[in-house]
Structure 1
Amino acid sequence: MEVNQMIDHTILKANAKKEDVLRIVEEAKKYEFFSVCINPCWVALAKEHLAGTSVDVCTVIGFPLGANTSEVKAYEAADAINNGATEVDMVINVGALKSKQYKKVLKDIQAVVDAAKGKALVKVIIETALLTDEEKVKVCELAKEAGADFVKTSTGFSTGGATVADVKLMRETVGPDMGVKASGGIHNEAEAIAMIEAGATRIGTSAGVAIMEGATGAGY
């Protein structure tokens, strides 16, 4: 698969305007990125402007802290899907994981998986920068058990983003059949390829255009 078809072209900053979202949409069309990843309030707009294209609409759930209740995350996912999202990237309850409340973390992921079943892919953002390696392995196992489609490194809004070591660990944990999304701090083609070689099957970045043009982009 070509690199462009592995990119979720992303704009998640709070001050993104309508014109910024539409620019991302047009760039995704031009470069045939896999999806645009946008905040839930922009899903319907993106869906409308991507009609008739191969570009998917991805949004975020419980973002960026993951501290909403499971019921809120499930509703947010259902609402986003109703508005046209075909992929949802949910943030885990990091505090529950670090408290070793594994059943709570599992049920939290399952709530979104159930809301999306048959309608959208679910990616589970584990926020690697906040976790020990043991916690990364455990939550990847929980995401797989819950029936999620992907595990994802980062929101891009915490203390760090994707690393090659984390992507390798996540791939080793979930095996060959589950998706792994590297996100956060991927600014150029070399960084994207390093993540893919480590086991990533999707790249989340706001630097998609720079990656395609052989430049180094800013952002997350």
Structure 2
Amino acid sequence: MENSKCFKTTGEFTLTDNCRMAIDVNSSYFVSFDARSIGKEQSAGYFFIDCFDKGLNSIRCVDVNRKLQFPAVKIVGISDDRKILSIEEETTEWDSYEYNRLALYLDGDLEKLPLREGLQDQKIVKKSSTEIILLNPLASWINIRLNETKARVHAFSASYVYPALCGQCIPFEWTHYEATVQGEIFSISHTKFRPGTQTIRFGFLANYGQSGKEVEMVVKNFKFWESKYSF
């Protein structure tokens, strides 16, 4: 079909050809497209924006989705096997199910992004009033500054910003989707970039969670304002 893209499988389809686009978070970015389902069942889809900091690290939900009612704690000691962190503050238990990822602020500044590397698999097994127990040891290169470094519990959830289309079932007739993204925020939002965003990539998560089903989605008239990427 002319001026359109058809997604017949479940997967992530990046429209930026694996290149990152430089953006200014103070400018407005407008995404617009038309989509419809053409399979036997309605497709479910997302339009995603993946945000990257100046170090080319993807800024994940785990970095920004802070469970604020569970206060940050100061680290005062670490075990020889680097799996137990002793803490100063006496606080309530942290939720060990949905919110079970450790975030570290090495210099104690909670208004910055936490340590960006080495924590992907740092699950919290248990937190008491005096210590945090990890499933795996901290990497040896992570320099915990005793009485300065702070820890916070974070959520582990979806990775991207989802403006315009966020998991909806797409009708069989052509449907228009659009959204504006501007600014940055230190929380989960689908209309703002992640804090510290310098570059982005974007595309579609097509037929999401529908592997093995007879689903197919078509997108046409795609535009991303201030971008050369269109079809």
The TM-score normalised by the length of structure 2 is 0.22
Decide which structure has greater helix share.
1
Q: Which has the larger radius of gyration?
A: 2
The TM-score normalised by the length of structure 1 is 0.23
Greater relative contact order, per chain length (Cα 8 Å cut-off, separation 6+) = 2
Decide which structure has greater strand share.
2
